[in-house]
């Protein structure tokens, strides 16, 4: 009798204990799930705010310039002076239009890269031509800041099966960052070398403001612009490096950043031999 009561008591204690344990585990699991959801939505909100802040600036500035200069052209009185002024203002309108197109293209590129629907147009490509074309695009901006540009591109770079337009886009962004984040009369070096397996490595080095490791992580995030880099006084969506990394990886390559605050930055773009290994 006594023994049966003892067993009944033990069973009820056990079942109560397991019920409580079950409830505790459920509660803990819910807490963890809720925390994960909170972190995720906070991150999404932060990306959304960064997107809105950058986009409103990057869209409004050229749009205001287009509207403003068109209004002025409409109000010009006829005459030879008006003709010269119209031509000058039309130049500003065209420049702002091109800037808007760049911003829209960046946003389209990043959405395609992030959704995985980005397609490369691979052709056997002479990387020397691609690198030369990238330098020509950025040369004016480098001259305007009186920066010294040291270009070392060997003649024996291999032909790789890559999307030349996209490789040029990566190089232009790296060179344009070096130009934007290096003060006047600073130095920029652009080097290419054949890597051991037959691939190619490009490096863009500058004597600019540099970044800490935490700042590099920010720079690689979509819309990430490092505070205090005057990034907001420079043109840019903060998408360039994210797109560059996405495009490099699509080719089976990679981007690595080596930087020190106050000293400068070197960014490496590596492309594998056939342009498609490890994709």
Q: Does 238 bind ligand ADP (CB under 6 A)?
A: yes
Nearer to Mg ion, 128 or 133 (CB): 133
Contacts 24+ apart (CB under 8 A), 149-153: 149/188, 149/189, 149/190, 150/187, 150/188, 150/189, 150/190, 151/189, 151/190, 151/191, 152/189, 152/190, 152/191, 152/192, 153/128, 153/190, 153/191, 153/192
Nearest to 159 by CA among 139, 130, 202, 181: 130
Nearest to 239 by CA among 254, 224, 227: 224
Nearest to 221 by CA among 197, 209, 198, 238: 238
Q: Does 240 bind Mg ion (CB under 5 A)?
A: yes
Nearer to Mg ion, 161 or 258 (CB): 258
Min dist. Cβ of residue 187 to ligand ADP (A)? 12
Q: Which of residues 161-220 bind Mg ion (CB under 5 A)?
A: 173, 177
x/- letters, 181..220, toward ligand ADP (CB under 6 A)? x------------------------x-xxxx-------x-
Q: Does 241 bind ligand ADP (CB under 6 A)?
A: yes
Q: Which of residues 132-191 bind ligand ADP (CB under 6 A)?
A: 173, 177-178, 181
Q: Where are the beta strands (DSSP E) in 49-176?
A: 123-126, 148-152, 159-162
Min dist. Cβ of residue 244 to Mg ion (A)? 8
Stretch that binds ligand ADP, among 68-76, 122-130, 157-165, 239-247 (CB under 6 A): 239-247
Q: Applying CB under 5 A, which residues contact Mg ion?
A: 173, 177, 240
């Amino acid at each position: 009798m006594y023994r049966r009561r003892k067993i009944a008591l033990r069973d009820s204690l056990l079942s109560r204990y397991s019920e409580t344990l079950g409830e505790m585990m459920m509660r803990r699991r819910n807490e963890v799930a809720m925390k994960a959801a909170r972190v995720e939505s906070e991150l999404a909100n932060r990306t959304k705010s960064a997107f809105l802040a950058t986009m409103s600036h990057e869209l409004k500035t050229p749009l205001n310039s287009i509207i403003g200069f068109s209004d002025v052209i409409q109000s010009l009185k006829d005459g030879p002076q008006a003709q010269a002024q119209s031509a000058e203002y039309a130049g500003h309108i065209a420049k702002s239009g091109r800037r808007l197109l760049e911003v829209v293209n960046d946003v389209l590129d990043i959405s395609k890269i992030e959704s995985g629907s980005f397609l490369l147009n691979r052709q056997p490509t002479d990387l020397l031509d691609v690198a030369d074309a990238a330098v020509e695009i950025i040369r004016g901006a480098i001259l305007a800041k009186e920066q010294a540009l040291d270009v070392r591109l060997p003649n024996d770079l291999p032909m790789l099966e890559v999307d030349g337009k996209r490789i040029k886009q990566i190089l232009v962004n790296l060179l344009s960052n070096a130009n934007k984040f290096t003060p006047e009369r600073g130095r920029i070096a652009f080097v290419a070398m054949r890597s051991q397996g037959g691939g190619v490595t490009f490096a863009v080095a500058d004597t600019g403001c540099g970044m800490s490791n935490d700042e590099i992580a920010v720079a690689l995030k979509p819309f990430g612009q490092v505070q205090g880099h005057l990034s907001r006084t420079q043109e840019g969506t903060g998408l360039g490096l994210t797109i560059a990394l996405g495009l490099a990886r699509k080719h089976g390559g990679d981007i690595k950043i080596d930087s020190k605050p106050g000293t400068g930055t070197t960014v490496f773009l590596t492309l594998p031999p056939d342009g498609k290994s490890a994709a």
